[in-house]
Structure formats: structure tokens, C-alpha cells
Chains A and B, each alone.
Chain A
């Protein structure tokens, strides 16, 4: 069977001088799936976003859904939540995963044990790991408040706490509306913990690829560890940093599982843990407002595309110089 098909295609290729028939055959399955469920829906989403009514049955309404989105305080609040989340997780996980990789690179023994320990959260399903964190953060039965009590700090509501972290830290000096809520900070901490191993593996691969001579040369020139990091290691790792920034940015704007699993049932801490994806999900699935959900999705996709291009431009220009 395979043989016959192969012979047939070979004869075709020889007759035409290119291998388009074989290519069509090999690319068709992936192409159909990606086209049908990846590219076509983009246009369909835009079309849906122009339709009103429940389940988008109300016919064409022009850009009314977009206007509803932009005038909805809940949308702006969820955009704020996504922004805080991105600004919290990306720098934190980048820094921590870099230092994990850097220290790991500098030891001789038990490397694989440490690697496994750091990588373990990343391979566990987010939902299951989130259940563990929910139990740990439970205000009554969880050990976190017990830990705080041991330090003489009053018990906290953690994942249920809608008040801002800065307000809590300053004893109410800052408005509780300002900054991410403690509940959101719990989600940020969870995701940093969960994704740290990924960044570590990427950085470790980058560190392994740096030629030893470069570091030796810098040492001979009298560079100390901080100078080495600043002027040798980090510039050489710029492609990894760019990659992790883009991946981290796209992920931050798409994260759903940790938000859903950590704050489900907690009334989403008065909306302070409702990010854009949860906002889409609840309007689309819970309220049946398809047009509105599609409009948010279109705006969000445009935002992600712009962000990725901007990051690429900013960092790509610098990294190509190295």
C-alpha cells in the first residue's frame, strides 16, 4: 500500500520536476485542522462580534458590542487584573528561573535531583496543583495562617481577599482599591511557582551553550561575578530572555486554568481575580452573550499581536546585535 503510493508519487515528482503531490498529501491533515480550528475561527470571531442578542441570534448590530465592551467597567477591571498579573508573574518568574538555572549550572553533584524538584510543579496539572494551594491557603484549616500566627501576624483571607496588597501591607494607608488584591497575588505566586521550572530549563540550555573561553577571558580581565553576569552572561542569554518574555506575555494574557481553579467558588474575590479570559468565559458561557464575548476576544487578540510585535521589535533589534 505504502509502497504503491510511494512509487506513484515518485513518478509524478519526476515528471513535474517538483514534489507538490507528495507535499499536498503530507501537509493535508495538519493543514485542514489548523485551517479549520485555528485560522478560520479568527474571521468567524470577528463576524460573531458584530452580531447582537443572546447566542448571537439578534442579527447584525455593527460595532455595538465593541462599544458595550469599552463602556463596561467590568471589562476594564478585568483588563487591569490581567495587566497586574502579567507585571507580577513575568519579571518574577524570569528572575527566579534565571537564578535557579545559574546556581544549578555552578554545582557538580545532585544536579538532576534539583532540576527534577524545580521542574516538578511545571509537569503537574494546574488544576490539581491549584487544589493543593487552595487547601494550603484556606483561612480556617490551611497551614499558611498558622505560619503567620507563629510570626505574630494576624490571619489573612488569602485567595478570598479582595483588598489590595498595598493597602494590607501599609495597614490601610493606601486605598484598598489600588493595586492587585491579595487574592490576585496568591494566583501570581502560584503561577510563578508552577512555571519556574520551564524558564529554568530554557536558561539552563542557554548557559550550557555559552563557550567556556568567554567566561575564562572575562575572569582573566578581572571581572567579578556581578560584572560577569551583567556584561557577559546576560547579553549572551538575550535570545532566551526575549523568548521567555514573549511566551510569558502571551501566556499571561491567556491564562485561565489557575484563575478558574484557584478562585472558583470564592465569588472571584469581588472581581479582583476575574481576568480577561474569565471575563470572556463568563459572558460567553455563563450569560450566553456570544457577541460580547467575541468582541472582547477580538480586542484581546489584537492586543496580544501588538504586544508580541512590540517586544520582538524592542528586543529583537538588540539581540541581533550580539
Chain B
């Protein structure tokens, strides 16, 4: 096969993949009449940037954003911390029961979220955490996948580094904080990024544990707004665009550091 058909095929499918986003951005700038007329073209005949202001006024999106960002940034920080600590212990420390513990942690990856949904909802109630940030953050601040990823990263560090640090009087804690964690930065960034996106994209859990409008996160806010917006497709597309923006921005900012291979969790071909 020559080169051009491959490029043509890839380019046309790539266009198909991104076209919904182009259409979304275009429609978000269209007037109401134009937006509700069926059109494949994303290009607006008349530009209405004030749609964005209207969308922000139509629902308390600023508040939703504040909630979502506070929750997902906290989750990202805490997930990284718990994963660094647990991953290091599983990779480098000698203690009885290590294999069993590692197996138990991996097994939690197999537990489907909906199995724990109702009991966790009840637990959050018993703790008095309904409609609080605690409910949105605490259950998510450790996960097996991140621990596994950090363990793999620490296993990859040369043993000599630790021996050298030990000669200089470093124990495990100091070695982890000053040398191992900084050296494992790509893995840390990967863990933090996916924890952030997981927190930001969550819908079912916030839907269940928050009812107060002031505690609503953007994903829930967006589904509510979809009902309120009704035929105002242009405003709904504004809202969708601003909800997508932080996720895309964080991804592209971290992209250079992210180990995409980690998505496959260290599987070797």
C-alpha cells in the first residue's frame, strides 16, 4: 500500500472523531434560531459570544466549578500521596504478609463500583456526611490501580540508590520523600492526572450523596441544566464546552509527563 491512502483514511476518521467537538464549539456561538435549525456545519453565520455569559447566568456554573475543582484537586493530591506511600512499602520494604496484602489490594480492582454504592451511601449517612465535601472526597482518595502503578515505578529504581542513601544516614522515609518520589515523577503525574479526571468526571456518586444545589459538581449540574435548557441548544453547548475545558487543559498540560503506556498497566507484549 502506498502512503497516501493511509493518510487519507486516518485524516478522515480523525475528522469524524473530532467533528462533534467542532460542532459543539460552533453551535455554542450560534444564535437560538440558527442553533435549532439542523445543520452539519459548525461555522456560525452570526457570532454570539454572549451565549457564554448567558449560560453562566442560567445556572450557578461558577459554584459547580468551584466544587468540582476543589474535589478533584484534593482527590488527585490524596490519591498520589496514598499511592506513593503504599506503592513504596509494597515495592521496597520487607515485612510478613506482603504478598497476601498486595493480592488483596489488587483484588479490590475487581470489585464493581455498583456493589459498594448502596452500602457506602448508608455509611456516609451514618458518618453524617451527606451534602459535604467529605462524602465526595474521602471514599476516592486511595485506589488499587494507582498503588500498583507506583509500586511498578519504585521497583524500577536501581537498588544502589537506596544503598547510597543509607550510607549517608537516610532511612526509608527520608529516602522516599527526598529521592524515590521525585525520581518516580512520571508515574506520580500519571496517577495524579487520572485521579483528577476520575474525580472531575464522576456522576453517579455525587448524584447520590449530594442533593443541595450548593454542593453540586459540574457533571450533575450539567445533566440538570440539560433539562432546564430545553431547546436552547446553543447554551447547552456553551455549558458542555466549559465543562470539557478543564479536563482537556489538565490532560494537555500533563501530557509530556504522562506515561500513556501505564494505561495498559505494565502489560508486556
Contact = CB atoms under 8 A, between A and B. Distances in A.
Q: Answer whether A and B are interacting partners.
A: yes
B269 A39 contact: no
Interface string B18-47: 101101100100000001111110000000
B38 A239 contact: no
B199 to A, nearest CB: 11
A45 B40 contact: no
B175 to A, nearest CB: 9
B187 interface: no
A297 B20 contact: no
Contacts of A103: 6, 9-10
Contacts of A236: 269
Main secondary structure of the interface of A (DSSP, over half): helix
Interface in B234-269: 236-237, 239-241, 243-244, 247-248, 251, 260-261, 263-265, 267-269
From B14, B15, B201, residue with most partner A Cβ within 10 Å:
B14
Interface string A159-200: 000000000000000000000000000000000010011100
B14 to A, nearest CB: 4
Interface string A31-57: 101101111111011001000000000
Nearest to A111: B10
A107 B116 contact: no
Contact of B37 (A141, A209, A305, A308): A141
Main secondary structure of the interface of B (DSSP, over half): helix
A125 B200 contact: yes
Contacts of A277: 114, 204
A318 to B, nearest CB: 15
Nearest to B98: A23
B179 interface: no
Contact of B264 (A146, A202, A261): A202
Given A29-B82, A33-B138, A305-B110, A125 B247 contact: yes
Contacts, number: 302
B85 A257 contact: no
Interface string A239-280: 110010000001001101100110011000000000011001
A300 B263 contact: no
B99 interface: no
Interface in A103-147: 103-104, 106-107, 109-110, 113-114, 117-118, 120-121, 123-129, 131-136, 138, 140-143, 145-147
Nearest to B14: A117
Interface string A1-41: 01101110110010000111011001101110110111111
A44 B96 contact: no
B101 A27 contact: yes
Contact of B108 (A39, A202, A209, A284): A39
A206 interface: yes
Contact of A243 (B117, B147, B265): B265
A298 interface: yes
Contacts of A117: 14-15, 17-18
Nearest to A309: B110
Contacts of A265: 226-227
B83 interface: yes
B184 interface: no
B117 A297 contact: yes
B189 interface: no
Nearest to A276: B114
Given A107-B7, A107-B10, A127-B223, A48 B203 contact: no
A284 B115 contact: no
Contacts of B147: 30
B172 A6 contact: yes
Contact of B142 (A7, A33, A284): A33
A305 B176 CA distance: 36
Contacts of A134: 226
Nearest to A131: B240
A298 B200 CA distance: 27
Contacts of B219: 125, 127-128, 257
Contacts of A37: 116, 120, 123, 138-139
Nearest to A113: B14
B264 A22 contact: no
Contact of A48 (B101, B118, B204): B118
A107 B108 contact: no
A109 B37 CA distance: 39
A201 interface: yes
A118 B14 contact: yes
Contact of A34 (B96, B105, B115, B170): B105
Interface string B100-115: 0100110010111111
A123 B120 contact: no
B115 to A, nearest CB: 4
Contacts of A198: 263
A257 B21 contact: no
B39 A146 contact: yes
A125 B231 CA distance: 22
Q: Which 6 A-B pairs have the closest CB atoms?
A: A41-B119, A117-B14, A10-B171, A44-B119, A33-B142, A41-B116
10 contacts: A6-B173, A127-B201, A127-B219, A141-B38, A143-B40, A196-B17, A256-B203, A257-B219, A260-B203, A293-B118
Given A20-B95, A29-B86, A33-B141, 7 more contacts: A22-B93, A23-B93, A42-B116, A120-B17, A127-B243, A128-B219, A140-B36
